[in-house]
């Protein structure tokens, strides 16, 4: 049984499910499940399993039966023998992936509403919020994708017609396209813009004057954001672009005016972290981590053995082999030293002392900068807003904050809220101290570093 299946089977009805993990978990999430399908028959079986997992309640039986019938209707037996089978399968998996992400967003929203109403003390129904006795909006999403709903053409897998479900996707590819180098440049601009938006979301409403009594933490400084953009464009994005070659090639086949929105759906992370996150994570690690240099060869080569393991009197090729090994080592060392030089240049620029902000610490803050790309701009704004709302509403702020932060990494957003409204959070009422009364510095290391007087060590 997959990890996603186990999560659903073992669910506790009174507790919201982590839908992000159910759908997106590497290797065993529902989206990974359909991504492994190599044939229409395998994809059909995957969708049947997914429906059984997502709609497992007794009241969902009618929907399950109806959807299984639709699967039989739209997956004729001869699909795998069609001339365009591979391309059609790829497109169908893309459609199903998009649909599952819509369902994930829908159920995550329901779970969030449940958490908020629980925090407010509203009475709750016995059934968990994301699950219903009858099929709802998420069921309709699946039916539409399979051609069984009224919202759109669905996925009609009968022999191709002018109004085929993939006509729009095909049309995008036929209407134009550009040189991949042009799309790669656009991709670089999109990635840089996404990072700018993340920083802007954190810095919104924060006084940026430098040289004052209190310097801003680096992630809240517009000056640091500008410096980071320069480093990003020079050292990081070129490597990241190479790793995302497949996305760029696919983007290049689309009409020129639709390429940017196509690329943004990968970099915006509105629907969760996809494969591009792994590309980013490995890229960031590679360009910001120095490599350990290999030891110098002895120059003696390997001693050749003679008959019965006795030493050979003459080893003519030994010197040549040793010289070749030394040459390879010198070439490798030269390349690695150049790469390590880039790493030093990156951190030298980012960690330079300034009166405008507190710079990051090399070795400690790389993860913060890496993770920032993996957050959607909207999620940052929503978390900062939620923290401000808790403070404005008053009452049991500590309890409401404890509920809000469960399962989330909101510390950077809390820090942003504190510097947006310093009088409210850090002033006479010491609201931040009230929020963090039940926590120690180990739970919020950034608060401990930048605002140590407001949290216990």
The pLDDT assigned to 12 comes to 34
Query: Where residue 64 falls among pLDDT bands split at 50, 70, 90?
Result: confident
- HEC profile of 327-350: HHHHHHHHHHHHHHHHHHHHHHHH
Looking at residues 282-302, what average pLDDT do you find? Answer: 84
29, 21 contact by CB (below 8 A): yes
pLDDT above 70: percentage of residues in the chain: 72
Q: Tell which wins on pLDDT, 364 or 152.
A: 364
From the list 51, 56, 11, 5, the residue with the least C-alpha distance to 28 is 5
Query: Would the pLDDT of 43 be above 50?
Result: yes
CA angle 288, 290, 292 (to 5 degrees): 160
Rg (CA), the chain: 28
Compute the distance between CA of residue 4 and CA of residue 245 in angstroms, rounded to an integer: 30
Whole-angstrom Cα distance, residue 182 to residue 220?
33
Q: Are 101 and 19 a contacting pair, CB within 8 Å?
A: no
In 75-136, which residue ranges form alpha helices assigned H by DSSP?
85-119
The answer to whether the beta carbons of residues 438 and 398 sit under 8 Å apart is yes
Distance CA 123, CA 216 (A): 43
Q: For the chain, give the percent of residues with pLDDT over 90.
A: 27
pLDDT (average), residues 419-437: 87
What's the predicted TM-score (pTM) here?
0.58
The 3-class secondary structure across 277-311, one letter per residue, is HHHHHHHHHHHHCCCCCCCCCCCCCCCCECHHHCE
Residue 318 scores a pLDDT above 80: no
CA distances, 155 to each of 9, 37, 92, 125 (Å): 29, 17, 7, 36
Res 26 pLDDT > 80? no
User: Residues near 80 by Cβ (< 8 Å), separated by ≥ 6?
Assistant: 39, 40, 41
Residue 38 CA, distance from chain mean position? 25
Contact 250, 178 (CB under 8 A): no
In the predicted structure, residue 227 carries a pLDDT above the cut 90: yes
- Residue 210: which region, alpha, beta or left (left: phi > 0; alpha: psi -120 to 50)? beta
Phi, psi dihedrals of residue 217, rounded to the nearest 5°: -60, 150
Distances in whole angstroms, Cα of residue 306 to Cα of each of 180, 303, 312, 319, 434: 57, 10, 5, 17, 80
Overall size of the chain counted in residues: 457
413 within 8 A of 435, measured Cβ to Cβ: no
In this structure, what is the dihedral angle of CA atoms 90, 91, 97, 100, given to the nearest 10 degrees?
-140
- H helix or E strand, kind and range, residue 180: helix 180-203
Q: For residue range 340-388, what is the model confidence (pLDDT) as tens digits? A: 999 999 999 999 999 999 999 998 999 999 999 988 888 899 999 999 9
Tokens describing residue 260: 């940017």
What's the mean pLDDT when you consider all of the chain?
77
Distance (Å, rounded) from C-alpha 385 to C-alpha 379? 10
Helix axes 61-74, 40-54, angle to 10 degrees: 170
**Terminal CA-CA length for the chain:** 43
Report the distance separating Cα 69 and Cα 90, nearest Å.
Answer: 23
Residue 159 has pLDDT above 70, yes or no: no
For the chain, domain boundaries:
3-174, 177-300+316-373, 376-454
Q: Which candidate, 252, 240, 250, 233, places its Cα nearest to that of 276? A: 240
């Amino acid at each position: 049984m997959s990890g996603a299946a186990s999560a659903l089977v073992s669910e506790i009805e009174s507790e919201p499910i982590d839908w992000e993990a159910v759908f997106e978990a590497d290797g065993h999430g529902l989206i990974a499940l359909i991504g492994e399908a190599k044939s229409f028959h395998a994809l059909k079986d995957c969708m049947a399993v997914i429906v059984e997992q997502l709609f497992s309640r007794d009241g969902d039986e009618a929907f399950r039966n109806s959807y299984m019938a639709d699967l039989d209707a739209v997956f004729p037996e001869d699909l795998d023998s069609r001339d365009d089978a591979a391309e059609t399968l790829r497109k169908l998996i893309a459609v199903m992936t998009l649909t599952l992400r819509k369902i994930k967003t829908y159920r995550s929203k329901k779970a969030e509403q449940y958490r908020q109403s629980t925090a407010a003390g509203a009475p709750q129904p016995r059934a968990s919020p994301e699950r219903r006795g009858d099929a709802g909006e998420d069921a309709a999403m699946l039916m539409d994708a399979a051609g069984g709903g009224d919202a759109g053409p669905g996925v009609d897998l009968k022999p191709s017609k002018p109004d085929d479900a993939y006509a729009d996707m095909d049309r995008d590819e036929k209407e134009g396209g550009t040189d991949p180098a042009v799309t790669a440049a656009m991709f670089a601009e999109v990635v840089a813009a996404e990072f700018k938006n993340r920083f802007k979301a954190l810095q919104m409403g924060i006084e940026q004057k430098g040289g004052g009594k209190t310097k801003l933490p680096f992630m809240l400084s517009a000056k640091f954001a500008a410096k980071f953009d320069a480093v990003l464009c020079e050292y990081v994005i070129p490597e990241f672009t190479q790793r995302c070659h497949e996305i760029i090639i696919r983007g290049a086949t689309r009409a020129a005016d639709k390429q940017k929105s196509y690329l943004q759906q990968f970099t915006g992370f509105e629907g969760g972290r996809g494969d591009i996150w792994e590309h980013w994570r490995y890229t960031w690690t590679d360009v910001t981590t120095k490599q350990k240099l290999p030891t110098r060869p002895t120059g003696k080569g390997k001693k050749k053995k003679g008959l019965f393991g006795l030493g050979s009197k003459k080893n003519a090729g030994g010197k040549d082999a040793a010289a070749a090994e030394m040459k390879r080592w010198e070439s490798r060392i030269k390349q690695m030293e150049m790469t390590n030089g880039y790493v030093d240049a990156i951190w030298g620029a980012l960690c330079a002392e300034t009166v405008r902000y507190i710079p990051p610490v090399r070795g400690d803050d790389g993860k913060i900068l890496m993770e920032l790309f993996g957050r959607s701009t909207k999620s940052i704004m929503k978390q900062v807003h939620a923290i401000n709302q808790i403070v404005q509403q008053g009452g049991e702020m500590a309890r409401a904050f404890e509920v809000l932060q469960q399962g989330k990494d909101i510390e950077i957003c809390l820090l942003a809220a504190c510097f947006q409204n310093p009088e409210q959070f850090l002033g006479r009422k010491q609201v931040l101290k009230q929020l963090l009364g039940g926590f120690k510095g180990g739970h919020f290391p950034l608060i401990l570093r930048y605002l140590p007087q407001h949290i216990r060590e």
